[in-house]
Amino acid sequence: MSSSPSTDDSGALLGPADIRELAAALGVRPTKQRGQNFVIDANTVRRIVRTAEVRPDDVVVEVGPGLGSLTLALLEAADRVTAVEIDDVLAAALPSTIAARLPGRADRFALVHSDAMQVTELPGPPPTALVANLPYNVAVPVLLHMLARFPSIERTLVMVQAEVADRLAAAPGNKVYGVPSVKAAWYAEVKRAGSIGRNVFWPAPNVDSGLVSLVRRSEPIDTTATREEVFAVVDAAFAQRRKTLRAALAGWAGSAAAAEAALVAAGISPQARGESLTVDEFVAIAENKQG
């Protein structure tokens, strides 16, 4: 039987002084190259855990745990947490931070020292939730990789750059609707779940952040096309987003005439543009590709 998560406000979470002290001891300076901005506000990580609706039976995967601010809050609320960290110094330090601050939960924590884009399996039971402050420069590819690789992830809450949050949650017809919006919608119902100010980070980024909630579809989209086939249509449609689909999909279909035939068969106007289509309409186009 698993031990129940701690619910007391034990002071296990990291504050600004703790973060700077840890960073100084490790000789860590957050790097732009890896899009690192450490959360230094305990109330913010509590809010993320609450918004993610982390349950006592959840197995949470976290990408880019950094110094462990969010990791500790997740570990207090979930059954177990697996963190994926690419940075050598941060990965080496995290287990001892967990052991020092939440000793009663340390056996519920696992670390995978790897690039998240290369992760194909995780230790322990399959993850049920993904909760992460994603590095800005790789947020979308990492999110899509994790959703594709781990179908057991039912709920996701990620903190990303506000602009990326808007893009992920955009609906057809919105000017920022694009490839990330459609691909995220393939897996899940996506919505904005709040905003995060700049002052809760160290260093403070020069952009605002947003929370995005993704609840996986209870049933995958019913289609004879593969995900790769559907995503190829999406990529082609938005590669030249000002063009009509007849023109934009010419390369994908083999010719403009073949693109038109697939569009007509799918019940979509050849004069339409990618930004007006739902994920189901992209699926229909993929299914109707000739030859």
Q: Where are the domains of the chain?
A: 16-216, 227-288
Residue 154 is labelled as binding a ligand: no
pLDDT of residue 8: 38
Confidence class for position 32, pLDDT limits 50, 70, 90: low
The reply, when asked if residue 234 is annotated as ligand binding, is: no
199 among the known binding-site residues? Answer: no
Query: Residue 241's Cα: distance from chain center in Å?
Result: 24
Please determine, for residue 115, whether its predicted confidence score (pLDDT) is greater than 80: yes
Structure tokens at 197: 């100010």
Question: The domain 227-288 is classified under which CATH number: 3.40.30.10, 1.10.8.100, 1.10.1740.10, 3.30.1490.70?
Answer: 1.10.8.100
Look at residue 29 in the predicted model and tell me its pLDDT: 79
Question: Residue 14 pLDDT more than 90?
Answer: yes
Query: What is the distance between the alpha carbons of residues 102 and 85, in angstroms, rounded to a whole number?
Result: 19
**pLDDT value, residue 37:** 82
Is residue 64 marked as binding?
A: yes
What local confidence, expressed as pLDDT, does residue 1 receive?
36
The answer on whether 39 is annotated among ligand-binding residues is yes
The share of the chain scoring above pLDDT 90, in percent, equals: 88
Strand ranges across the sheet with 59-63: 109-113, 80-85, 59-63, 129-133, 155-161, 209-216, 188-196
Whole-model pTM: value is 0.93
133 is in an annotated binding site: yes
Look at residues 118, 117, 62 and name the one whose alpha carbon lies nearest to residue 90: 62
Mean pLDDT of 223-240: 97
CATH topology of domain 16-216: Rossmann fold (3.40.50)
**Each residue of 159-183: pLDDT tens digit?**
999 999 999 999 999 999 999 999 9
